[in-house]
Structure 1
């Protein structure tokens, strides 16, 4: 017994020391909470509220030890496009490892919504827009939050009152319409000649449109550069 007891105590203390050096579930959850708290604090400074719940881990989890402050945490998917992102937790120690931790995340923020039912083709005005608190990351195509990016655009399809405006719901209106008189600019470097024409189709800025030169009656294809403005390259 005089020999066995010290040996048993040595084995027990060695096992306990090894266990204490492992990275366990609580270490990973703690790193995840610290990361999410920092994220929520950053968003609060921008006017958003972030509510989150971390997923669970097997309490028996035991990974290689990670130096103090060595656990890295980052989103593995865009938290602004899903309410179920995940965290990639990793360590670059002598025995590197990586794992994923699930998160349920709601980011609340002010977004622009339809103040009343809107129809396809409506031009968005201030009277059509209201502000509401929504879960912005539940809107996968991204909510429009700035009226400068919305007013004057055209509805692509009808929506109900309270529907958040998203980029896929609106489009830039036609800059020229069939029958409109337009100014044709023929450009060659810094040299430009202007003449009047008539649009033979509807088109938006950046699109090509067929126009008729009113002086020569010649039909040409030009690029729309603005309302009533088209350009060709000589």
Structure 2
């Protein structure tokens, strides 16, 4: 194997792993990726790397990318480009939605769509989308990105929640009832169902709030 083939093989394997990790992180069930590495012609003059190739990390590989690849053993480095074409089955708006619209199940279809670099923060699960308000226009049959919707409403009025309390290594949780709704970072009033007291807590996930003694 020459240096060109080595570069193409290891770059392809790395990008494939990165796409798979991103898929798992977002919980996308159906995804296909076509990776084409374009090794510079100058690589034909390079010695096969007898050690491990060092490939710079980067953003989630979607679309056209470029990475620096180095071989310490033979003392060379160069930039390698690649095209990563990804298709995935994700929830999309079945009609244009304007700013201020709230999203319901009737607004959403599932479709296989092509993704590009701007879709790194797409939302792949219905519970990440339904009930939220549009802050940037949604186009029909286009991936829905997190920045297009308002912050998720993790807690609604009347919800039963788990109250987490942390202080100096101490941790406890107890049942509560939300007296206000809110998302991440918003202080809301919660009734502690164990003590009956009303406290201030902060939503940290769906159905969970946190306070400190």
TM-score by length of 2: 0.61
5 Å-filtered alignment, 1:66-215, equals: 66=48, 69-70=50-51, 72=53, 74=55, 76-80=57-61, 82-93=62-73, 95-170=74-149, 171-173=151-153, 175=155, 203-208=182-187
Distance in 2, Cα, partners of 1:231 & 1:34: 47
Aligned to 1:4: none
Offset at residue 104 of structure 1 (A): 2.4
C-alpha spacing 1:36/1:208, structure 2 compared with 1 (3 Å)? same
Distance in 2, Cα, partners of 1:46 & 1:72: 31
Extract unaligned runs of 5+ from structure 1.
Answer: 1-25, 212-219
C-alpha spacing 1:88/1:114, structure 2 compared with 1 (3 Å)? same
Determine if contact 1:90/1:98 at 8 Å carries over to the other structure: yes
C-alpha spacing 1:134/1:231, structure 2 compared with 1 (3 Å)? closer
Whose radius of gyration is greater, 1 or 2?
1
Aligned to 2:4: 29
C-alpha spacing 1:58/1:205, structure 2 compared with 1 (3 Å)? closer
C-alpha spacing 1:107/1:160, structure 2 compared with 1 (3 Å)? closer
Extract unaligned runs of 5+ from structure 2.
Answer: 21-28, 166-170, 191-197
Offset at residue 166 of structure 1 (A): 0.8
Distance in 2, Cα, partners of 1:36 & 1:233: 47
Aligned to 2:23: none
Count of equivalent residues: 190
| CA deviations over 1:103-129 (Å, ceiling 9, x no partner) | 222222222211112233333222222
User: What value does the CA root-mean-square deviation take over the aligned residues?
Assistant: 4.7
Distance in 2, Cα, partners of 1:230 & 1:29: 53
